[in-house]
Chain A
Amino acid sequence: MRNTLILVGLLAACSLAALGQGYATQPADALVFPIGVEGTVYEDMELGVRGGTLHIPNIEDPRAWNNHTAHETSTTWFTYRMHRGLVNLDHISGAIVPDLAKGWEISEDGLVITFHLREGLKWSDGMPITADDVLFTYNDVVLNEDVDCNSRDGQILPDGTFPVCEKLDDYTVRFTLSTIYRPFLNSVGVGIMPKHKLAQYVHKLNPDVPAGTFNETWTLDMDLSELVGNGPWIVTDYAVNVSVTMERNPYYYGYDPAGTQLPYYDKIVNHIVANQDVSMLKFRNGEVDVYALRPEDIPILLPEGPAKRFQVMVTDLAGYGTTWICPNQDIGLGDGTDAEKRELYRNVEFREAIAHLLDKDTMVQNVLNGLGTAQWTGVSLPSPFYAGRDYYGGPTTESDAVWFEYDPALAASKLDALGVVDQDGDGWRDLPSGAPLTIEINTNDNTTRIAYCLIIQDDLRAAGLNAQFQVVDFNTLVNKLFAATGDIIQLGLTGGDEPNSGKNVYTSCGSLHAYRYSACEDPDEVDLRIDELMDLGANTFDLDEAFEYYKEYQILLAHQLGYIYLCQPTFLYAHYDYVGNAFKASPISTPGGNNGNLTELCFDKRL
């Protein structure tokens, strides 16, 4: 059987001739990562040495090298490392930080953001990076309707318009917004592309090429010596179904505090393997250095780690997204039924009783096999706005977390106080009027969700609530959610760094405000304050100020218990001890996907 470390090249391999010689000295405007600097989230990382090759497994081939036409992570894993934007998300904290831009100013009225590019930087072929490249990227690629661009929708402002990008000088660009919109700072971080290489493929700049030509540019069969980037890596070799090799961009502008240009590794070799099982075996054999493991891999890898000198990182970092139950506070509203039940569900004391009946520890142990963490808010834990942090992008201390501890006795006392007691002696609590109370819990045919619901059913029944769990198909479940015809629904939502993305869920007129759609017509004080806070958070560019707004809204939501949160799986990976700084975060994946991974900050400790 072939040795997969030997590259069987089917496509032209060309690398060193296409890359420049690098900076003679560290650029004055270099991006310095505070590795080992006390008081930063990087403080316990080590300064590394340059050299070596990082071997990682990949289960899919890329589909192109074009960052802006890619729609799949198998491609963007590579293109993200070749093309960086004006801003980025910090590797560790997830906070928005300067990248290609060294800073920005926001006008008094919040409608004009001026970015200052780092001066003296070069593309991987030695050509200068200037504002012309930013304008080209934004105006001629991202906003160009001829281009099948994956990031265009993310640029749209609340009023349906796009920011206007203008060049002020070679190193200054200005974006003018029609409305104050802080999330723009996140969406503006698209990878900047080299105008000198790509303008020729854009019809509006070169009428000699047909419209849409850009979509077929930088495909897999291109001459890799033509590939030019500004990120830490450049693809220099690709063998279909075998491997992708990336080498250090000699003109990458990232440095460590000791003046060492990053990335530390000379190369990354992505070994394309058939599936995750093969990835795992190659990791065990020492053929790859890092592995994104699954829960079922843990009992196999844990005993081998000490002898083979690798770490199985069972982190306490939850991934993005939420899992919850949603008591329908509009139950029966549509057809004029269930008035008393609706009144009960709308009583926060009842929802608190339900919250105290959720045994999240058991859920983590029995559903997530110990590999999970309880949730209390709708903003994902990796987000720099997560209210369990002390400040924007700060450490997670949970000092302001709102927990409803599993406490059946307290739940019972709350139910008793509400008059939800067994009045007819059948063993089940009734509505205060004495009418029977039955609670139907629904989810779809998903083993994890079913497992959650069975635990919840048992705990509610143990408290005397006649809970009946029933699996329904996904479309029926979603219809119940949207039509407010369900009772208690168990589901989940995706998540991200930007709380404003949850506006459709948490604002009183949001399309997914499924716990009480009637709040749009009849908001209470909490609803109104949450609406206000969501706008305040989006309408300030002061990230610390936005953090305080979002913190308040998360705490209000937690007390409001519209969605009652359950648990989320935690993030797992494994790495060999010799991969320096990999203890801090995986160099190949993160809870949040591609953002914030550490390929440029890891190094080979054996050197």
Chain B
Amino acid sequence: MKRNGLRALGLMSCAIVFVSLIGFAVDLYDIVANETVPEISKAAGLNLVDDYISTYTAEELADLAANGATPGIRLAADRALFKLNDGLLALVALDQDTLYAMAAAGDQDAAEAWVFNARASYKRPDAAEEAIADCKVVTIEIALGELLGGFYGPGSPIGQKPKDELLRMVVGDVLGLRIAAATALTTYWIQEGSLTIPQVEAAIRANTGVNPELALAHQGLLTYLYGQE
């Protein structure tokens, strides 16, 4: 049964009280409830997934995922549900045709599973780059971009790119390459550990809506930094 918005807010208030009682980091709840910049909201939300699992029923999570007041709330609930339903483990058991159809219909998780199952075909970055160039499905292009980012990032035995090249690529013309650059940049920044939360939040505010993948790269870093608090 779906709840209306007021009841959803009420539920959220109860959750904040509940979580406060158990000594959780309240500021994340504050961010996820009040932050207007989507990437910052989502970074907070991604740190609340386990908490949502222990706080809400599956039905409540489904409701929050669809109707939550902010992007962070909706993302936290969605990822909590995904985890409860065994996540990628359940999806990779499906055949590739089914996953492709789901991906083509907009299911990003299905796209991740499709790329996961096909990853032996992309043992080299050029193979992933070619696949991105030929890709007709946006969700799969994004998933391929994330895979490619693993080649571009630090520690990769083949295909590692320097940060300045990634910073150019992340604002380039091709979605999959922008995603790849964003993935790699996040990894670099986490490893370097030199940016603070205020700096990252500021970078997101400067790029949200303008350079979405650059904002996404910073979101990845912010998610990590919030988790360290």
Write the residues of chain A forming the contact surface with B, with a CB cutoff of 8 angstroms: 1, 277-278, 281-282, 284-285, 295-303, 305-307, 312, 314, 365, 369-371
Contacts and interface: CB of A to CB of B under 8 A. Distances in A.
B158 A277 contact: no
A535 to B, nearest CB: 41
Given A1-B86, A365-B158, A370-B157, A303 B120 contact: no
Nearest to A299: B150
B153 A302 contact: yes
B147 A302 contact: no
B21 interface: no
Nearest to B189: A306
Contacts of B190: 306-307
Nearest to B187: A303
B119 interface: yes
B191 interface: yes
B124 interface: yes
Interface stretch (B27-35, B62-70, B87-95, B203-211): B87-95
19 contacts: A1-B86, A277-B116, A278-B89, A281-B89, A281-B92, A296-B123, A299-B147, A299-B148, A299-B150, A300-B116, A300-B119, A302-B155, A303-B150, A306-B187, A306-B224, A307-B224, A312-B155, A365-B158, A371-B157
Contacts of A299: 119, 122, 128, 147-151, 156
Given A277-B92, A296-B122, A369-B124, A302 B156 contact: yes
Contact of B153 (A278, A282, A303): A303
Contacts of B156: 298-299, 302, 370
A306 B191 contact: yes
Nearest to B185: A303
Given A285-B87, A303-B184, A296 B227 contact: no
Nearest to A274: B93
B223 interface: yes
Closest 8 CB pairs of A and B: A299-B150, A370-B157, A370-B158, A306-B190, A303-B187, A307-B224, A296-B119, A296-B120
Which has the most chain A C-beta neighbours within 10 Å: B92, B146, B149, B158? B158
B186 interface: yes
B183 interface: yes
B113 to A, nearest CB: 10
A305 B153 CA distance: 11
B120 A298 contact: no
A284 B156 CA distance: 18
Size bracket of the B interface = 35 or more
Nearest to A301: B150
Contacts of A281: 87-89, 92
Interface in B115-171: 116-117, 119-120, 122-124, 128, 146-151, 153-158
Contact of A298 (B148, B157, B227): B157
A300 B156 CA distance: 11
B158 to A, nearest CB: 4
Interface in B172-208: 183-184, 186-187, 190-191
Contact of B157 (A297, A306, A314): A314
A302 B153 CA distance: 8
Nearest to A302: B150
Contacts of A303: 146, 149-150, 153, 183-184, 186-187
A281 B88 CA distance: 7
Contacts of B149: 299, 303
A281 B117 CA distance: 11
A308 B85 CA distance: 21
Contacts of A296: 119-120, 122-123
B38 to A, nearest CB: 20
Contacts of A300: 116, 119, 147, 150
Which has the most chain A C-beta neighbours within 10 Å: B85, B86, B220? B86
B81 to A, nearest CB: 14
A396 B122 CA distance: 33
A306 B151 CA distance: 15
A369 B190 CA distance: 25
B219 to A, nearest CB: 12
A1 B123 CA distance: 32
A307 B223 contact: yes
Contacts of B120: 296
Which has the most chain A C-beta neighbours within 10 Å: B116, B122, B148, B157? B157
Contacts of A306: 187, 190-191, 224
Contacts of A277: 92, 116-117
Nearest to A307: B224
A232 B170 CA distance: 51
A281 B113 CA distance: 11
A298 B122 CA distance: 11
A302 B125 CA distance: 14
Which has the most chain B C-beta neighbours within 10 Å: A277, A302, A303? A303
Given A369-B158, A370-B157, 8 more contacts: A295-B123, A298-B157, A302-B150, A303-B150, A307-B227, A370-B158, A371-B157, A371-B158
Contacts of B89: 1, 278, 281-282, 285
B82 to A, nearest CB: 11
A157 B155 CA distance: 48
Contacts of B191: 306
A284 B88 CA distance: 10
A303 B221 CA distance: 11
Contacts of A297: 119
Contacts of B123: 295-296, 369
Contacts of B150: 298-303
B15 to A, nearest CB: 24
A277 B112 CA distance: 14
Contacts of B153: 302-303
A371 B123 CA distance: 11
A284 B184 CA distance: 18
B163 to A, nearest CB: 14
Nearest to B83: A285
